[in-house]
Amino acid sequence: MTIRLILDMAAQAGAGRTALVPGTGDPVTFGGLAALADAGSALLTRLGGRTLAFIGANSPAVPALLFAAAGAGVPFAPLNYRLADPSLRELIARLDAPVLVTDPSHRVEPPGDAVASFTTREWLDLAADASAAPGPAEASETSPAVLLFTSGTTSAPKCAVLRHSNLLSYVLGTVEFGAAAESDCALLSVPPYHVAGIGAVLTNAYAGRKVAYLADFMPEGWLDAVRTRRVSHAMVVPTMLARIVEHLGDRPADCPSLTSLAYGGARMPLPVLTRALEAFPSTGFVNAYGLTETSSTIAVLGPGDHRAAAASGEPHRLGSAGRLVPGIEAQIRGEDGREAPGGTVGELWVRGPQVSGEYAGLGSVLDADGWFPTRDLARLDEEGYLFLAGRADDTIIRGGENIAPAEIEDVLLLHDAVREAAVVGVADPDWGERLVAVVVPAGPAVPGGEDLGAELRAFVRSRLRGSRTPDEVVFRGELPYTQTGKLLRREIIAALAAGLGSPTHAS
């Protein structure tokens, strides 16, 4: 059983229902998508490719390629089209006998071991003309289905291996088959090389929901797409939602069709989420927490939790990643590797059939009992709600004390003069590391200069222990993020080492 089963079930249940809504051209039905995937599988089999790689933005080509690869029994490998050509060629060279499909605007000269290279239009035209039906796929549920290169925010990207069993476990365990109304429409604006992009293809197909695409995100374009296409479901990363609410200002979003707005991929600033709940009063918000290695979502904070937390005197509950999805177990472990007492912050380990924990060339990193180390710091409260406290790799050691940057960042973001904030550790001969807060001001300039830096330090000191107070505050016009909203701390540290930014030193 492979993920191709998802498309087959959707096509059998409603072959004439719309599956894909291109930006231009005619909609594609589930029956049409199944036929296109069959032809793509046949073409891939004839070419002899052992991997189907894709470079491009989200479009109807993505599900056609994903299901074609599954039908041919080979893995699908979507690559980050924003990378420079040399970096892309390095990733392609790590794939086994790849057939490469690219958007025309992202065409890359493939390395010599690539089997063939096509544009999306060339591939779809060839697949449409293919006459031979694919033979029986050799893939089983334990075969690799998708290869995803991690974002590499702290190191070189690793190639995560998601097997059919992992992805099927996630979809079948979290989505009701055929539950979508025929009028439902999902807007897909996350990139295909992110696990959320793959998960969206599979979950929407399993639910029977049609998908519209937004290749390039701009807040006004996103809002216009939601309104004109009567989008019912959408997903964004925190940086997208921040830009949407900034664009709206004090105005309501006026998106009555939008019943569900999911977000994830990085920490959501509480002020952004609070404003979004006001701007979208009739929309159900969903915080979906997951990792590439867990085949997408493993914990969910649902709409009811969002509204209850916002209406209560405990808005910090909005910062929760929610409760674990069915089939997922979690442990919080201390530095000694043992399970920590309830409510204690430690490293989050997870286990379940959707958890892969495997990398190409490295093998499995699961422990002997099947637990995966997420490298996320977290705690579980008495009601089973998960609260994240940053990445273990980001921990700053100052004077022998472990400090989680996220704790300080959350406080800085409560200040009206702060739009974005990142806290990093910089080498210090006396303390080992000193705390540097890099702040994007809420206004067009740095209001108050050094006075604002001193004010922010005092603001943090009044809410956290003195050891959590930044030693320096540095102002910048923007912070570096991946396209999926993950903060690139290594670039911040490198910029500080190069002397970039306008520092306000500790007094």
Hey, where are the domains in the chain?
1-188, 328-391, 395-505
Walk across the sheet containing 346-351 and list its strands.
329-333, 346-351, 372-380, 386-391
Tell me the two tokens of residue 263: 């977000």
**pLDDT at position 429, please?**
84
Between CA 278 and CA 298 the distance in angstroms is 27
Instruction: Output the CATH code of domain 328-391.
Output: 2.30.38.10
Assign residue 394 a region (left: φ > 0; alpha: ψ between -120 and 50; beta: otherwise): alpha
* Per-residue pLDDT reduced to its tens digit, 352-364: 999 999 999 999 9
- Cα–Cα nearest to 435, from 504, 483, 498, 485: 504
Tell me the two tokens of residue 196: 């959320």
**pLDDT at position 324, please?**
98
Identical fold for domains 1-188 and 395-505, yes or no, is: no
**pLDDT at position 449, please?**
57
- Cα–Cα nearest to 361, from 96, 27, 80: 96
Beta bridge partners of 386: 322, 380
Confirm if 294 and 265 have CB atoms less than 8 A apart. Answer: no
**pLDDT at position 136, please?**
54
Between CA 195 and CA 207 the distance in angstroms is 18
**pLDDT at position 23, please?**
81
**pLDDT at position 164, please?**
98
**The dihedral sign for the CA sequence 103, 220, 267, 455:** positive
User: Residue 237 is which amino acid?
Assistant: V
| 3-state secondary structure labels for all residues of 373-405 | EEEEEEEECCCCCEEEEEEHHHCEEECCEEECH
Mean pLDDT (the chain) is 91
| CA distances in angstroms from 24 to 21, 28, 42, 212, listed in the order given | 8, 11, 27, 11
Residues of the chain with pLDDT under 70: 130-138, 152-155, 444-450, 500-507
Q: What is the number of other CB atoms lying within 10 angstroms of the CB of residue 219?
A: 17
DSSP 358: E
* Per-residue pLDDT reduced to its tens digit, 195-242: 999 999 999 999 999 999 998 899 999 999 999 999 999 999 999 999
| 3-state secondary structure labels for all residues of 92-145 | HHCCCCEEEEECHHHCCCCCCCCCEEEEHHHHHHHHHHCCCCCCCCCCCCCCEE
Instruction: Output the CATH code of domain 1-188.
Output: 3.40.50.12780
Confirm if 237 and 266 have CB atoms less than 8 A apart. Answer: yes
- Give me Rg for the CA atoms of the chain: 23
CATH pick for 395-505 out of 1.20.1050.10, 3.30.300.30, 3.40.50.1110, 2.102.10.10: 3.30.300.30
* Per-residue pLDDT reduced to its tens digit, 265-299: 888 988 899 999 999 999 999 999 999 999 999 99
